């Protein structure tokens, strides 16, 4: 929660500095996965740098990342962070909204601790993922928002033994273009 108190003012400051920029040809976008912040307490911040009107590079930081939608509860604790890099393609739409598809690479580092009526079991979550993300993004007065879904394949046998090799996530990004 302390990290969120730092991140939100930083996003507001960056947004205020970018006010007045034209939406016609945005150079970048900052965003937050609003849905997962509310549902999971996972803060997923992203930056997208536009190479062309229909292509961009993305970089995201996922603080308090969870595997799929597994919740932490009594005796269970996720302590993981992820970095995600993507190449985004926009198509089938107009200036106010477009479909997008993004191949990505994600690296998660951290651990999962579980203590259910016995000793603490620790699962090392350090692993890479290759995946594909798709969704729709609306643009309105420099603000961008839309749902997405992602599927990825992990390459850690320890994580696959404890959870699964395939990870499915979804969310609702809310962002500001400048």
All domains of the chain in start order, with CATH:
2-177 (2.40.160.20)
Between residues 52 and 5, the one the model is more confident about? 52
Per-residue pLDDT tens for 33-78? 999 999 888 999 999 999 999 999 999 999 999 887 766 666 788 8
Asked whether 30 and 144 are in contact (CB, 8 A), the reply is no
Residue 20 pLDDT greater than 60, yes or no: no
Asked whether 107 and 143 are in contact (CB, 8 A), the reply is no
- Is the whole model's pTM more than 0.85, yes or no? no
């Amino acid at each position: 929660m302390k990290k969120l108190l730092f991140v939100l003012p930083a996003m507001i400051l960056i947004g205020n500095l970018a006010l007045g920029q034209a939406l016609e040809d945005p150079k970048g976008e900052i965003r937050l996965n609003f849905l997962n912040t509310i549902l999971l307490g996972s803060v997923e911040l992203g930056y997208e740098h536009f190479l062309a009107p229909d292509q961009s590079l993305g970089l995201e930081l996922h603080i308090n990342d969870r595997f799929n939608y597994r919740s932490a509860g009594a005796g269970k604790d996720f302590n993981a962070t992820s970095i995600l890099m993507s190449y985004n393609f926009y198509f089938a739409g107009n200036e106010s909204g477009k479909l997008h598809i993004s191949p990505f690479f994600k690296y998660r580092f951290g651990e999962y601790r579980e203590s259910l009526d016995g000793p603490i079991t620790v699962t090392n979550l350090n692993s890479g993922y290759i995946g594909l993300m798709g969704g729709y993004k609306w643009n309105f007065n420099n603000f961008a928002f839309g749902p997405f879904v992602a599927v990825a394949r992990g390459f850690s046998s320890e994580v696959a033994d404890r959870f699964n090799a395939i990870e499915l996530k979804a969310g609702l990004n809310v962002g500001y273009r400048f």
